[in-house]
Amino acid sequence: MKRWNKRRILKWGLIVAILYILGFTNLINNFAFYIMDPEYIVPKESSFISFRVTIMNPGSGDWWIYGEDKKNYYYYYGLGNYAAISRENTCPNFKKLDYRTWCGVDILPHNGYPNEISDKYKGELVED
């Protein structure tokens, strides 16, 4: 191939890679929430690209309540605290949108949305 053809292929390959990252990952959503509210967190076990929010706070705050990635499910219970459970270590009757069904996960006592949210969705899965 001629040199200009290699450059063109490289340029288009780079454009396709960037469009894929922007269009088929959660990078834009997570970055936008982080810019709007610096208190927004992405779990340290996850990344801006792979973390996906499944239930967002129904109030005025820009934080998630339940989220997931390819390895874990996450439950955020405020002030930077969250629980994670591996997708591989779920137990009988596990529901990803009800932290009360998560076996072996220590969650600090707290008040607020968790019970209301879990009861509202009754542990139903939010499909992609």
**45-86 tens-digit pLDDT:** 999 999 999 998 887 777 899 999 999 999 998 888 899 999
pTM (whole model) above 0.75: no
Overall average pLDDT of the 40-45 stretch: 92
Domain ranges of the chain: 3-121
- Give me 33's structure tokens: 């929430």
For 21, 23, 32, the CA distances from 44, given in Å and listed in that order, are: 20, 23, 18
Q: What single-letter amino acid sits at 113?
A: Y
Residues with Cβ within 8 Å of 75's Cβ and at least 6 positions away in sequence, in order, are: 65, 66, 82, 83, 84, 99, 102, 107, 114
Average pLDDT for the chain: 80
